[in-house]
Amino acid sequence: MRTLKIAVAQFAPKDGDKEYNLLVISKLTAKAKSAGAEVISFHEMSITAYTFFKDLDREQVKSYAEKVPDGESTKKLIEIAEKHDIIVLAGLVEIENDRFYNTYICVDKTGLKAKFRKLHPFISKYLSPGNEYVVFNIKDWKCGILICYDNNVVENVRATSLLGAEIIFAPHVTMCTPSAMPGRGFVDDALWQKRDFDPVPLRMEFDGPKGRGWLMRWLPARAYDNGVYYVFTNPIGYDGEHLKNGNSMILDPYGEVLTEIKSFEDEIAVTVITEDKLKLAGGWRYKNARRPELYKNIIGADHHSETKPVWLDKGEKD
């Protein structure tokens, strides 16, 4: 029976400081390897940080963008993967033909294994959307990638699973921002500053409807409905001016949490996934029971896509 030992990571990135962020990625990768992990996954745009891009002009965005696989950050990730003999997934800003993408890559010691461009970018108007799903192999497991908002659109998850993905890597920078949904919003900085000597109020906020409570409304459903493993990553602490709650986790095809980080520090969590659950899960049966002739023209009908979270409405720059 196939198995795979996967690590998820969380850390507090520094805005635009690739050297620092790659150093943390290297340290956490070493920790994952020591725990026996074969793969480690980091959050969206983990090499550059994310939220501060909403305030950058085009030339500033360009200054952080790199080619893939020929850019220095990709080369550094490959060095990290080779040093620790582990597969590494992390995010950066890619440039190709003078267009920019929120890109997530998978590397091993031999080089680039996969590249995925976010389908629904919004943090900067200078980021172009990707236009394809990606399915690739990690140690005989078929894997897909969907970045943050991409996972909120259920068709993206179903399409990736129908292409054969058994594991979906879901790098995020999310939670703890305002929404139309009751209970959502920012977390008070004062709670973060008191985390070392009064952690309970902060943990209650992070695990409540502003954070984990919102995540658990939908993330287990993506895994369950599609019968796939879900590898969710998210930063801890500040990404730009937004405080994030981490809670990086791995879910099985039943929608159950196998491992989760419950720390305010840079940290990892590791678990082993097993092949048997893929066909025992309800999602396997439901995909086989589909009748696409009933809805292919409905789902495939022309539609104008709009991607903008509530929290960005008042903060977006012209």
* pLDDT class of 287 with cuts at 50, 70, 90: very high
Alpha carbon distance 130, 108 (integer Å): 23
Q: Which of 107, 118, 137 is closest to 40 using CA atoms?
A: 107
Q: Structural domain tally of the chain?
A: 1
Domain-embedded: residue 317 = no
In a domain, 177, yes or no: yes
Which two tokens mark 6? 């996967």
Query: Amino acid letter at 303?
Result: H
DSSP bridge pairs for 112: 107
Strand order in the sheet with 267-274: 111-117, 99-108, 87-96, 39-41, 3-10, 267-274
Q: Which of 305, 183, 178, 289 is nearest to 242 (CA)?
A: 178
Q: Is 93 helix (H, G, I), strand (E, B) or coil?
A: strand
Amino acid at 105: I
Is position 151 within any domain? yes
The confidence score (pLDDT) of residue 4 equals 98
Residue 301 main-chain phi, psi, to 5 deg = -65, 155
pLDDT tens for residues 143-161? 999 999 999 999 999 999 9
Core vs surface per residue 58-91: b (16+ CB within 10 A) or e = eeebeebbbebbebebbebbbebbeebebbbbbb
β-bridge partners, 106: 89, 114
pLDDT of residue 308: 83
Q: How far is CA 185 from the centre of its chain?
A: 21
Cα dihedral: 238, 243, 248, 254 (round 10):
-160
79 is a domain residue: yes
pLDDT of residue 310: 80
Task: Count, in order, helices (H) and strands (E) of the chain.
Answer: 10, 14
3-state secondary structure of 312: helix
**Model pLDDT, residue 69:** 98
- How, if at all, do strands 87-96 and 99-108 pair? antiparallel
User: pTM (2 decimals)?
Assistant: 0.96
Q: Do 222 and 165 touch, CB atoms closer than 8 A? A: no
CB-neighbour burial class of residue 210 (10 A; exposed 0-12, middle 13-18, buried 19+): buried
- Spatial contact of 159 and 134, defined as CB atoms under 8 Å apart: no
Tokens coding 46 = 């983990």
* pLDDT at res. 165: 98
Mean pLDDT of the region 86-103: 98
Q: Provide the domain limits for residue 133.
A: 3-312
Q: Is residue 278 part of a domain?
A: yes
| CATH number of the domain bearing residue 253 | 3.60.110.10
pLDDT tens digits, one per residue of 161-205: 999 999 999 999 999 999 988 999 999 999 999 999 999 999 999
Residue 92 domain flag: yes
The per-residue pLDDT of the chain, averaged, comes to 96
Residue 85, pLDDT score: 97
Distances in Å between the Cα of 56 and the Cα atoms of 125, 178, 251 are 10, 22, 35
The amino acid sitting at 253 is P
39-41 and 87-96 beta bridge pairing? parallel
Q: Quick check: is 185 in a domain?
A: yes
- 318 in any annotated domain: no
Banded pLDDT at 314 (limits 50, 70, 90): low
pLDDT for 313 beyond 80: no
Q: pLDDT tens digit string along 237-263?
A: 999 999 999 999 999 999 999 999 999
List, for residues 14-69, the tens digit of each pLDDT value.
999 999 999 999 999 999 999 999 999 999 999 999 999 999 999 999 999 999 99
Residues 216-235 have a mean pLDDT of: 98
Instruction: Note the pLDDT of residue 273.
Output: 98
Q: Is pLDDT at 318 greater than 80 in this prediction?
A: no
What pLDDT is stored for residue 311 in this prediction? 79
